[in-house]
């Protein structure tokens, strides 16, 4: 049964529970360490951790054989969609007594209550009511990166005061690491936003590329040279994290939008054809405020409103029956109001229907579930489940930004307490944030 537990042969150092380290410990027959790390990953809805804990209980590795406990873990693994768990559960259940099955079901329900991550995260649309930048200073391309032909991006989060000044800034995500971050922070600190009657927490992404943008062929080459997809699929959390950043980079640069369908099977190999440029359609109607994903017939008629987020001031609530003009190159389009060169207009962008495994968010989520702290912090910026998890781990970075958000939402006492804790842990931006609320 040891074929159930596999080992990705990749070097990785971890300060937190990490799937790769857990698998290494298991391979070295250090069952106590393996069991401990699998157990730490279990609350993150990690299906492999649940499956492996079931296998160890069934085989009596580092413990007495326990069919009831094994069944409970396999039940949870099946619930979390582990590919082998359901079939294996059926076979092993036949060996259990009715009493063992009842007890296993009870233990399974108790394990489910320990989960802190329940639903997959989704990126929320940008709030168009946030203040807009009135001065942007482009970052300087670092000389060493330019000399070596490096490309990448930096995503930053920052606090803007009532005067539109940026008073605290930090890196949320960057590729490659330790390359473009300093230049980005220096530039962002010189930006200015529209004055408003309150402070705001904002995100921005700065892309770095030579000769007009990152070439898809270059990204493919990087992925192939480092076998990013292979190691990510094998479960190596650091490779999952890097793959997420690269897919995010090329996805944002694409002229298409994407509909990542959780109902589709995960791709076994990357499908770069989804990034092939397709033309936008012309929107021949006005009065629509919000965003929607729609199905379009060959003649441009909208036949179905698949999903939508419509603002109260929108004069149009149903897009079905309206017509888009231009060459229809796919059947799904995303319709949204954007501000282009200071002019607000409705645009229709091709939305490519594809597997979640082509989404950077998907791989960040896998890396987070497998113990990668950088990925967990990114997920915390999008998903309160991950925010709460890292607050429970006393993560200073998440405490500082969550504290600031809570103060802005009127929960001053709780927010200031989190800022104080982040300061005590020497997270530098926390001091700047606290000063803005004194």
When pLDDT is cut at 50, 70 and 90, the band that residue 341 belongs to is low
Q: Are 209 and 217 in contact (CB under 8 A)?
A: no
- Identify any residues that bridge with 169 across adjacent strands, giving them in sequence order: 158
Coil, strand or helix at 266: coil
Give the C-alpha separation, 89 to 84, whole Å.
Answer: 9
- Same domain for 276 and 348, yes or no, is yes
- Same domain for 141 and 247, yes or no, is yes
Q: How many domains does the chain have?
A: 4
Q: What is the pLDDT of residues 123-141, one digit of tens each?
A: 554 454 678 788 888 899 9
- Same domain for 67 and 166, yes or no, is no
- Same domain for 281 and 249, yes or no, is no
- Same domain for 204 and 306, yes or no, is no
- Same domain for 247 and 289, yes or no, is no
**Domain of 398, in residue numbers:** 394-438
Give the C-alpha separation, 413 to 342, whole Å.
Answer: 39
Lowest mean pLDDT of 44-58, 254-268, 404-418, name the range.
254-268
Element (H, E) at 192: strand 192-193
Angle at 241 (CA atoms; ends 237, 242), nearest 5 degrees: 120
pLDDT at 13: 36
pLDDT at 123: 53
Beta strands, E only, 299-428 = 302-310, 324-325, 332-340, 343-355
- The whole-chain average pLDDT of the chain stands at 87
Q: What is the CATH number of the domain that holds 200?
A: 3.30.2420.10
When pLDDT is cut at 50, 70 and 90, the band that residue 376 belongs to is very high
Lowest mean pLDDT of 212-221, 299-308, 356-365, name the range.
212-221
Tokens of 208: 């770095």
- Same domain for 221 and 145, yes or no, is yes
Residue 238 has pLDDT above 80, yes or no: yes
- Same domain for 350 and 404, yes or no, is no
Q: Would 406 be classed as within a structural domain? A: yes
Q: Would 373 be classed as within a structural domain? A: no
Residue 65 has pLDDT above 50, yes or no: yes
The count of other CB atoms within 10 Å of the CB of residue 1 is 10
Q: What is the pLDDT of residues 81-121, one digit of tens each?
A: 898 999 899 899 999 999 999 999 999 999 999 998 876 65
Give the C-alpha separation, 34 to 62, whole Å.
Answer: 9
- Same domain for 77 and 34, yes or no, is yes
Strands 324-325 and 302-310, bridge-based pairing: unpaired
Q: What is the CATH number of the domain that holds 10?
A: 1.25.40.10
When pLDDT is cut at 50, 70 and 90, the band that residue 12 belongs to is very low
- Same domain for 147 and 92, yes or no, is no
- Same domain for 32 and 71, yes or no, is yes
Which residue is listed with tokens 């649309």? 125
């Amino acid at each position: 049964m040891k074929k159930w537990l596999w080992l990705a042969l990749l070097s990785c150092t971890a300060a937190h529970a990490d799937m790769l380290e857990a698998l290494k410990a298991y391979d070295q027959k250090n069952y106590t360490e393996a069991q401990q790390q699998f157990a730490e990953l279990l609350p993150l809805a990690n299906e492999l951790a649940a499956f492996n804990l079931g296998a160890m209980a069934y085989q009596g590795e580092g413990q007495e054989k326990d069919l009831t406990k094994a069944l409970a873990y396999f039940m949870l693994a099946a619930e979390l969609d582990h590919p082998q768990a359901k079939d294996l559960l059926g076979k092993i259940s036949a060996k259990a007594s009715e009493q063992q099955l009842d007890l296993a079901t009870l233990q399974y329900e108790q394990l489910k209550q320990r989960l802190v991550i329940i639903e997959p995260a989704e990126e929320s649309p940008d709030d168009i009511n946030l203040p807009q930048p009135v001065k942007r200073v482009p970052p300087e391309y670092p000389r060493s990166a330019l000399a070596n032909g490096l490309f990448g991006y930096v995503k930053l989060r920052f606090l803007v005061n009532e005067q539109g000044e940026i008073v605290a800034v930090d890196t949320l995500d960057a590729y490659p690491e330790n390359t473009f971050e300093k230049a980005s922070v220096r530039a962002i600190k010189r930006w200015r936003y529209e004055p408003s009657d309150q402070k705001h927490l904002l995100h921005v992404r700065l892309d770095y590329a030579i000769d007009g943008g990152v070439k898809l062929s270059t990204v493919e080459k990087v992925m192939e040279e480092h076998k990013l997809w292979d190691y990510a699929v094998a479960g190596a959390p650091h490779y999952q994290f890097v793959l997420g950043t690269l897919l995010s980079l090329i996805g944002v640069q694409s002229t298409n939008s994407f509909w990542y369908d959780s109902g589709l099977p995960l791709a076994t190999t990357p499908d770069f054809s989804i990034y092939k440029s397709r033309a936008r359609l012309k929107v021949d109607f006005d009065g629509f405020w919000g965003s929607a994903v729609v199905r379009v017939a060959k003649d441009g008629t909208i036949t179905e409103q698949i999903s939508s987020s419509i603002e109260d001031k929108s004069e149009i609530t149903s897009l079905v029956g309206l017509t888009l003009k231009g060459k229809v190159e796919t059947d799904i389009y995303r319709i949204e109001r954007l501000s282009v060169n200071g002019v607000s207009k409705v645009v229709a962008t091709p939305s490519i229907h594809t597997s979640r495994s082509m989404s950077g968010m998907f791989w960040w989520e896998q890396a987070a579930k497998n113990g990668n702290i950088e990925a967990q912090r990114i997920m915390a910026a999008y998903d309160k489940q991950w925010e709460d998890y890292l607050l429970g781990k006393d993560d200073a970075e998440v405490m500082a930004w969550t504290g600031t958000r809570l103060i802005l939402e009127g929960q001053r006492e709780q927010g200031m307490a989190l800022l104080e804790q982040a300061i005590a842990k020497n997270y530098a931006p926390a001091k700047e944030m606290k000063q803005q609320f004194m």
